[in-house]
Amino acid sequence: MTIRLGEMEEWRLKNEKIPDSDDEAFVCSHEIQYEDVEDIGNKFRFFLTTKRLLSIANKSNKIHADATYKLIWQGFPVLIVGTSDLDRKFHSIGLSVCTEEKQKDFEFIFKAIRDGSFKLDNSSTYKPDVLIADGSDAIRNAFNCIFESNKMVMCWAHVRIYLDKKLCLINDNNERHEVISDIEKLQICNSTHYFQLALELFLKKQ
Which stretch, 60-74, 137-151, 174-188, has highest mean pLDDT? 137-151
Number of domains in the chain: 2
For residue 162, the enclosing domain spans: 157-205
- Low-confidence winner among 2-16, 22-36, 65-79, 172-186 (lowest mean pLDDT): 65-79
pLDDT at residue 48 in the model: 96
User: Are 162 and 149 found together in one domain?
Assistant: no
Q: What pLDDT, on the 0 to 100 scale, is given for residue 124?
A: 81
| pLDDT (mean) for 107-117 | 95
Q: Is the same domain home to 29 and 118?
A: yes
pLDDT band at 38 (very low <50, low <70, confident <90, very high): low
Q: Which of 138, 154, 170 is the last residue of a domain?
A: 154
pLDDT at 40 exceeding the cut of 60: no
Distance CA 47, CA 45 (A): 7
Contact in structure between 97 and 107 (CB atoms under 8 Å): no
Residues 183 and 123 in one domain: no
The average pLDDT across 13-21 equals 93
Checking if the pLDDT of 190 tops 70, the result is: yes
Q: Is the pLDDT of residue 39 over 80?
A: no
Distance CA 83, CA 59 (A): 9
CB 191 within 8 A of CB 182: no
118-139 pLDDT, tens digit per residue, is 998 888 889 999 999 887 899 9
Do both 148 and 179 map to the same domain?
no
Q: What is the pLDDT of residue 189?
A: 80
Q: How confident is the model at residue 168 (pLDDT cuts 50, 70, 90)?
A: confident
- Residue 104 has a pLDDT of 93
**Domain harbouring 144, CATH code:** 3.30.420
- Mean pLDDT over residues 176-201, rounded? 85
**Within this chain, do residues 119 and 173 fall inside the same structural domain, yes or no?**
no
For the entire predicted model, the pTM comes to 0.80
Same domain, 71 and 168: no
Between 52 and 86, whose confidence is greater? 52
Q: Are residues 167 and 82 in the same domain?
A: no
Instruction: With beta carbons less than 8 A apart as the criterion, state whether 123 and 117 touch.
Output: no
Q: Position 77: which residue type?
A: P
119 shares a domain with 81: yes
- Tell me the pLDDT of the chain averaged across its residues: 87
Residues 51, 138 within the same domain: yes
pLDDT tier for residue 106 given thresholds of 50, 70 and 90: very high
CA gap 54, 87 in Å, rounded:
20
* Residues 140 and 65 grouped into a single domain: yes
Sign of CA dihedral 85, 112, 145, 69: positive
Q: Are residues 188 and 142 located together in one domain of the fold? A: no
Helix axes 173-187, 156-167, angle to 10 degrees: 160
133 and 162 within one domain: no
The rounded percent of the chain whose pLDDT value lies above 70 is 95
Picking from 143, 113, 132, the residue whose alpha carbon sits closest to that of residue 63 is 132
